[in-house]
Amino acid sequence: MVKTVGIGITGGIASYKIADLVSKLKKDDLDVIVMMTEGASKFITPLTLKTLSGREVVTDLWTESLEWKVQHIGVAEQLDLLVIAPATANFIAKMAHGLADDLLSTVVVANTAPVLVVPSMNTNMYNNPIVQDNINTLVNYGYHFMDPDSGVLACGVSGKGRLPEIADIYQQIIALLSPNNDLFGKRIMINAGTTCEDIDPVRFISNRGTGKMGFALAREAAQRGADVILVSGPSPLSAPPNVKHVSVWSAQEMCEIMLKYQSACDVIIGAAAVGDFRIANVAEQKMKKTEDKSRKLTLELVENPDILKELGKRKQDNLIMVGFAAETENVLENARKKLVSKNLDLIVANDVTMEGAGFATDTNIVTLINRAGELVALPKMSKDMVAAAIIDRVVELM
Ligand code: PMT
């Protein structure tokens, strides 16, 4: 059956971005009912959203309904999910206090479907304890919230308050519409991306890991109800919704964090390209060039801890551990060795020489190998789909 999503737009500058969200949802053949506050109509016209949603936009509490039902009740009854985006501080306050003085707030009170709230506002407004209390009140009532992104806001201030990427809001909507809670109650720690090792105060060595693979795993696990801790080195990506993101710099830092959380985890997945080496003696001051162009500079490297191996040594019963093997030759053989030496339950062999596989790509080509030596070779798929296939295996292992 076609699902119906109510999109409630309130009066923030980010309102115009919701046109893209409505268009994406319609392309998925969802039925979309757009509701706008008076403030929202000042930022984007109902006509734009009517055209994109393919149905009348609901704005006024006093418009006579063509159907016998009172309009706000009629709308609320149709919804499988209600999304408030962007949600202003004012509208969040109204929801937290059950006010119903316009069409959208009345629908919120009459609604019984899950609600997703996506706040977007000035940083100081967002951090205001009154706003935070209102958010907590709604969270305690079971409302789902997405954290705003950080960046330069329309008001010129830099900080938290931007509307999250439309792609992320869309993902969250899809997850809430089709809940697959097979990881509910499980805690999963995933590492992702690269790590960095300082040479001096301004230079470092790193690798090509972007976090795309690990972040996709974190998103998938969170969507399936897991409590997710994502530990990543620097990455251009925003953490997926409902994920605890711990940002680190070096392999040693990543190792410390993961050891700290290990005992609280049911599953650990190592998707990060952890730097195997670090500089033996990090220069305290910026290293200078000299006039002697024939001079050769030698960096002495020492080995970093092997994080998965350390976790594998301390592996408690019932902990499932999954690793990746980024290989350029003898892929399956090397992957199998890593499965055993790191005490893993599953290894994801990743031939990073193949086109569309490995670092920084949106797709990956992997073979899953378990302790019994069984292989599942997956074709080239998006990293989101690879993540889903890996999580399916993890669920089977549990
Ligand atoms: O982030 P993307 O740009 O999307 O790229 C994805 C990826 C290529 C990084 C990912 O698909 C991948 O293959 N990750 C593993 C990279 C790697 O370092 O593989 P490895 O074969 O060197 O290490 C084997 C396993 O041990 C890995 O799970 C790794 O996280 C772990 N390891 C490695 C070294 C180390 N010091 N500590 C570790 O825990």
Atom of ligand 1 at shortest range from CA of 342: 26
> What is the reported pLDDT for 62?
65
The whole-angstrom separation of Cα 4 and Cα 176 is 12
The Å distance, Cα 266 to ligand 1 centre, comes to: 20
Domain(s) labelled CATH 3.40.50.10300 in the chain stretch across 187-283+295-397
Helices (H), 28-110: 38-43, 46-53, 71-78, 89-96, 103-110
> Domain 187-283+295-397: what homologous superfamily?
CoaB-like (3.40.50.10300)
CATH 3.40.50.1950 intervals, the chain: 4-177
Q: According to DSSP H, which parts of 87-241 are helical?
A: 89-96, 103-110, 123-127, 129-140, 166-177, 212-223
Mutate to test the pocket of ligand 1, among 258, 262, 267, 274 (most ligand atoms within 8 A of CB): 274
Burial class (CB in 10 A: 0-12, 13-18, 19+), 52: buried
Q: Which residues line ligand 1 (CB under 6 A)?
A: 193, 209-214, 251, 270-274, 276, 304, 306-308, 323-326, 338, 350, 352, 358-360, 364
Give me the helices (H) in 263-330, please: 307-313
- Does residue 151 contact residue 120 with C-beta atoms inside 8 Å? no
Q: Report how far residue 280's alpha carbon sits from residue 143's, in angstroms, rounded to the nearest whole number.
A: 50
Task: Give the residue whose CA is nearest to atom 37 of ligand 1.
Answer: 306
Q: Residue 343 gets which letter from DSSP?
A: T
The residues, ordered by sequence, that sit 6+ positions from 309 with a Cβ below 8 Å of its Cβ are: 341, 342, 343
Distance in Å, CA 151 to ligand 1 centroid: 29
- Yes or no: say if 366 and 348 are a contact pair by the CB < 8 Å rule: yes
196 is catalytic: no
Across the chain, which has 398 residues, the per-10-residue mean pLDDT values are: 93 95 93 96 95 91 60 84 98 97 95 95 95 93 90 80 92 83 90 98 97 95 90 93 91 98 96 98 93 89 98 94 96 97 97 94 95 94 94 95
The one-character DSSP state at 14 is G
Pocket test for ligand 1, best of 189, 324, 332, 382 (most atoms within 8 A of CB): 324
Secondary structure of residue 229 in the 3-state scheme: strand
| Cα first-last separation, the chain | 32
Find the angle CA(203)-CA(206)-CA(212) to the nearest 5 degrees. Answer: 135
Beta strands in 168-265 (DSSP E): 187-192, 197-198, 204-205, 227-232, 243-247
The one catalytic residue in 155, 196, 255, 265 is: 155
Angle (deg, nearest 10), helices 166-177 and 212-223: 30
Fold of the 4-177 domain: Rossmann fold (3.40.50)
Q: What is the dihedral of CA 90, 219, 172, 155, to 10 degrees?
A: 30
| Distance, C-alpha 149 to centroid of its chain | 11
Supply the pLDDT for residue 190: 98
In this structure, are residues 190 and 229 in contact, taking their beta carbons and an 8 Å threshold?
yes
Q: Name the pTM for this structure.
A: 0.67
Q: How far is the CA of 165 from the centre of ligand 1 (A)?
A: 27
Long-range contacts from 296-303, C-beta under 8 angstroms, 24+ separation: 299/199, 299/205, 301/277, 302/277, 302/278, 303/276, 303/277
- Distances, alpha carbon 281 to alpha carbons 204, 256, 298, 330, in Å: 12, 20, 11, 34
